[in-house]
Structure formats: C-alpha cells, structure tokens
Amino acid sequence: MPRLGFEQRNIIIGRLQAGESQNFLANLYNVSQSTISRLWNSFLQSGSTSDRQRQGRPRVTSAAQDHFIQLCHLRNRFSTATSTASAVPGNLRISDQTVRNRLREAGIRARRPVRAVVLTQRHRQNRLQWCQAHNIWPQQHWRNVWFSDESRFLLHRADGRSRVYRRRNESFAPNCVQQVDRFGGGSVMMWAAISYTGRTALVHVQGRLTAQSYRDQIL
C-alpha cells in the first residue's frame, strides 16, 4: 500500500476539515481507512502531519529515491532489484532488499510473468475480425463446431524463473507479459479437440502434424 507523502497528508487534513469522509479519501489515495483515521487522530493530538520521532534504524532512502525506484520498475518491468539498487542516485549505496521493500510499500511485487506467444498486428486484427463475425451465432450453431489445438511440450528447457514487478490486476499488461518462441531441445507433440458435447482423447502425434494427419485424428 502506498505511503502518504507530506503534501498529501496536508491535503487530506484540509479535506477532512472541509467535511469529506474518511472512506472517500481512502479510496481516492488508495490507502486503507485506518490510515486516514490514524492521520486524523495524530493531527488532533499534535497539530502536525509530520512524522513523529521514531526509535530504531532511520530510513535510508529519501522520498525522491523511493520515487526513482518505483519509476525504474514501472518503466522496465523486468528490471532486477540488484540493478536498481546500484543505479539509485545518492552517496549511500542501498541493498537490493531495500529496493524490494520500497516496491512492496508501493504495492509492486515480483511475480512470475504470463507467458504468451508472439502476436503480430496482423494476427490481432484477424482474431478480432473472426470474433466480430461469429459474435451473432446462436448456441445451436456452436454445438456443431469442434475446436482443436496441438501443443509441443519441450523436454529440455531453462526453468524460466524470471520475475516481473507489477501491481495487482496487471498480469496481462503488455509490459508485464514475457513473450517467448517455442523452440529448443527435444519435444513431444500432443493434439486434442473439444466441442459443446464433449472432448477427444489426448493424442500423441508422431512426426509433423499435416492436413492429412489432422483428418486422421478426428476420424
């Protein structure tokens, strides 16, 4: 959850004094209602929105550095925490864990990217036209349609344990998807089809899948 800056706190206090609700401001600034409540109570007790004196280790990054860390990972979602830590401006070098902590505070966490095939603009246009042409089909027509697909499963490949820094609900954002080509190592080709009434058995395709071998699968 993002941390409220000094200017944001002053604005929130002013809007609370003007009569706006805590829930409305919490949704507006993407924080919890309890955060707004604690800010208001602290202001009533101290008359200030500044951070109180805290015990323990002081914060090693400034607000500008926190903003820099967020921008680095929002502009390049596949950046690593180590590379960002070495690029943060300032005389004091920070650790990669500090970078992860600042990103977590902003609601940006490392996740495994969604893997998708490379689609050109022509591919996307053809798919859109197909959907628009069949959008008006009644259910009875779809009962006579079979959807089939084949997939090649690689027997030897890298484990692909890369991470992408993203917010919630950004799984399929273009800059969070890792596009891959299907290649490398030994593989097996599997084929199957589904329809309104059921599905076929999973078939191991020997050799290449051609128009004739495709017909053999469904007969």
This prediction's pTM: 0.45
Burial of residue 117, with CB atoms counted within 10 A of its CB: 0-12 exposed, 13-18 middle, 19 or more buried: exposed
Token output for 204 = 């191991």
Query: Which tens digits make up the pLDDT trace of 159-216?
Result: 456 778 888 888 899 888 877 665 555 678 888 899 988 998 888 887 666 666 656 6
pLDDT, residue 72, reads: 93
Q: How far apart are CA 74 and CA 78, in angstroms?
A: 9
**Is 3.30.420.10 the CATH number for 116-218?**
yes
pLDDT, residue 1, reads: 46
Report which of residues 126 and 45 the model is more confident about: 126
Q: How far apart are CA 58 and CA 56, in angstroms?
A: 6
Report which of residues 216 and 9 the model is more confident about: 9
Other Cβ atoms less than 10 A from the Cβ of 205: the count is: 18
Token output for 199 = 């599905």
CATH architecture of the domain 1-56 equals Orthogonal Bundle (1.10)
* Confidence grade of residue 157 (pLDDT, cut at 50, 70, 90): low
Burial of residue 109, with CB atoms counted within 10 A of its CB: 0-12 exposed, 13-18 middle, 19 or more buried: middle
pLDDT, residue 191, reads: 87
* Confidence grade of residue 127 (pLDDT, cut at 50, 70, 90): very high
Query: Which tens digits make up the pLDDT trace of 36-88?
Result: 888 888 888 888 877 666 666 778 898 899 999 999 999 999 999 999 999 99
Sequence-ordered list of residues with C-beta below 8 angstroms from that of 149, at least 6 positions apart, any chain: 191, 192, 193
pLDDT, residue 53, reads: 64
